[in-house]
Structure formats: structure tokens, C-alpha cells
């Protein structure tokens, strides 16, 4: 892997990613230690479960999935990661990654090296604050996933589409049309559904004029109605 120096200073993701909320001089400070890594292809591992923790990573372009293995040899897709989102927190607790990260498509990422973290915490206090903020956000996201995991299949899929749409919007992509870099299998795995159920429900959503599906392309036609599925009926 190449380790080109990279600049957070002129990165288009500066308002979403690590430097969010930092002053110009602070950004320039972290910019000195943040490294860019070479491009990965779909299926490539960013890190594997058990790998030594090397730092907090940030998606620069493309997308990735976080996967955990259970005792039964099954993979579980814990999260989908979009540009500007941080990953690697699963390695914070004991220097070893607790799950794996895999590219979902051609992608690039940056790295805040572990060895410079303690020094940065001293020199750039807002970075500490910001990292805790990111880590708090991850936990709230996990919380939502846990709550949703107890809801029926239809709601889980609706929530998945809505949250994806909103996260894409915040990153300057279209919120109403996007390509899923996931197979039905992977969507089902992530949501705890059989792939056939995902297929059936996407069709149902289309029949109800909520979305248009064409293979992995999704067009959201009626976001409000989709959101209504998450609300009580009355």
C-alpha cells in the first residue's frame, strides 16, 4: 500500500469527516499525520478481524461494510460505510479489531495512525472531543439498529432505505436515486432477513409506488409514505 501524504485542508468531506468542527490550524495539524492508502476493489479487506489496530480510518470515496463472524460460521453485516464516515472503533478496546471491514466497490480511505493519536490528543484537544462525538454517533446508530431489529421486516427495510437516503444526501449525493452496492443477500444479511424476503418487499414497495427498483438501482418516489411505515398507524 502506498502512504501518500494527504491534505484534509482541501478535502471536500471536511465538514463530515474527522476535521468536522476543527479550526483551520487544527486541521493543518492533523493533516500532517493523516495518510492516504491506495485504492481497493470490491471484496478487498480494509482490515480483518483480529488485525492489529492501526488507527481510525475514514472513507474517502466509495463504500464499505463492517462484518462480524458468529460462532456458526455466518457473516453478519453490521454497518454500511459511506464517504466521510469513520471506522476502526472496533479496535479501540484491546488493540485488535473486533470485526472486519470490506470494500463494497472501488474505494479509497484515509488513516489517522494509532501511534500519533495520543500526541494529537494533547496538541489538538478538539480532536479528542470530535472523536468522542463520532464515537457517540456510532453508538446512537447501533441503538437505532437494535431497536429496529425487533420491528417487522417491512419496517426494517423501509428504515434501511430512508437512512441510506439521508446519509447520501448529507454527503452531496442524490437522496432519491442511488445504486445499492449490495446484493439482496447482503441487504438481507444486514437486516436479518432472507434474501427472498428482501426481493418480495422491494417488489411490494414498488407496487405501492413508494420506490422504483431496477436491479441495484433504487429510486425513491414517495419518501413521506415510506417514512409513514415507521410511524404508528393511527
In the set 25, 93, 214, 215, which binds a copy of itself (CB under 8 A)?
93
Residue 12's φ and ψ, nearest 5 degrees, are -70, -15
Residue 121's φ and ψ, nearest 5 degrees, are -60, -35
The answer for residues whose C-beta is within 8 angstroms of residue 4's C-beta and 6 or more apart is 35, 36
- Minimum gap (Å) between residue 153 Cβ and a copy of itself: 12
Residue 94's φ and ψ, nearest 5 degrees, are -140, 30
Question: CA 70 to CA 73: how far, in whole Å?
Answer: 6
Question: CA 137 to CA 151: how far, in whole Å?
Answer: 22
- Minimum gap (Å) between residue 1 Cβ and a copy of itself: 24
Instruction: Determine if 219 is a binding residue for a copy of itself (CB under 8 A).
Output: no
Angle made by CA atoms 135, 139, 145, in degrees to the nearest 5: 145
Question: CA 211 to CA 222: how far, in whole Å?
Answer: 7
In the set 142, 177, 196, 209, which binds DNA (CB under 7 A)?
196
Instruction: Determine if 121 is a binding residue for a copy of itself (CB under 8 A).
Output: yes
In the set 125, 208, 209, 222, which binds a copy of itself (CB under 8 A)?
125
Instruction: Determine if 50 is a binding residue for a copy of itself (CB under 8 A).
Output: no
Instruction: Determine if 212 is a binding residue for DNA (CB under 7 A).
Output: no
Q: Indicate which of DNA, a copy of itself, none lies near residue 89 (CB less than 5 to 8 Å, by partner kind).
A: a copy of itself
In the set 12, 132, 172, 179, which binds a copy of itself (CB under 8 A)?
132
**Residue 202: all three cell numbers together:** 422491494
Q: Indicate which of DNA, a copy of itself, none lies near residue 184 (CB less than 5 to 8 Å, by partner kind).
A: DNA
Three-state SS string across 70-98, please? Answer: CCCCCEEEEEEECCCCEECHHHCCCCECC
Instruction: Determine if 189 is a binding residue for DNA (CB under 7 A).
Output: no
Binding footprint of DNA on the chain (CB under 7 A): 152-154, 183-185, 188, 192-200, 202-203, 213-216
Binding footprint of a copy of itself on the chain (CB under 8 A): 68, 70-73, 76, 78, 89-94, 98-99, 118, 121-122, 125, 128-129, 131-140, 142-143, 145-147, 149-151, 192, 230-232
Amino acid at each position: 500500500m502506498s502512504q501518500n501524504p494527504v491534505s484534509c485542508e482541501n478535502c471536500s468531506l471536511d465538514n463530515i469527516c474527522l476535521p468536522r468542527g476543527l479550526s483551520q490550524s487544527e486541521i493543518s495539524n492533523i493533516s500532517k499525520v493523516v495518510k492516504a492508502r491506495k485504492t481497493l476493489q470490491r471484496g478487498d479487506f480494509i482490515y480483518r478481524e483480529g488485525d492489529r489496530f492501526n488507527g481510525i480510518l475514514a472513507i474517502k470515496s466509495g463504500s464499505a461494510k463492517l462484518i462480524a463472524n458468529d460462532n456458526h460460521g455466518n457473516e453478519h453485516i453490521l454497518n454500511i460505510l459511506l464517504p466521510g464516515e469513520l471506522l476502526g472503533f472496533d479496535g479501540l478496546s484491546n488493540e485488535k479489531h473486533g470485526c472486519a471491514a470490506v470494500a463494497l466497490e472501488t474505494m479509497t480511505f484515509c488513516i489517522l495512525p494509532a501511534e500519533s493519536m495520543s500526541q494529537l490528543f494533547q496538541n489538538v484537544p478538539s480532536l479528542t472531543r470530535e472523536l468522542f462525538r463520532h464515537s457517540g454517533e456510532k453508538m446512537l446508530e447501533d441503538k437505532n439498529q437494535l431497536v429496529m431489529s425487533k420491528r417487522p421486516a417491512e419496517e426494517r427495510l423501509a428504515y434501511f432505505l430512508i437512512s441510506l437516503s439521508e446519509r447520501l444526501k448529507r454527503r452531496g449525493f442524490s437522496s432519491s436515486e442511488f445504486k445499492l452496492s449490495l446484493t439482496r443477500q447482503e441487504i438481507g444479511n444486514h437486516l436479518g432477513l432472507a434474501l427472498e424476503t428482501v426481493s418480495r418487499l422491494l417488489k411490494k414497495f414498488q407496487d405501492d409506488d413508494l420506490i422504483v427498483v431496477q436491479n441495484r438501482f433504487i429510486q425513491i418516489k414517495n419518501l413521506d409514505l415510506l417514512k409513514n411505515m415507521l410511524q404508528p398507524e393511527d
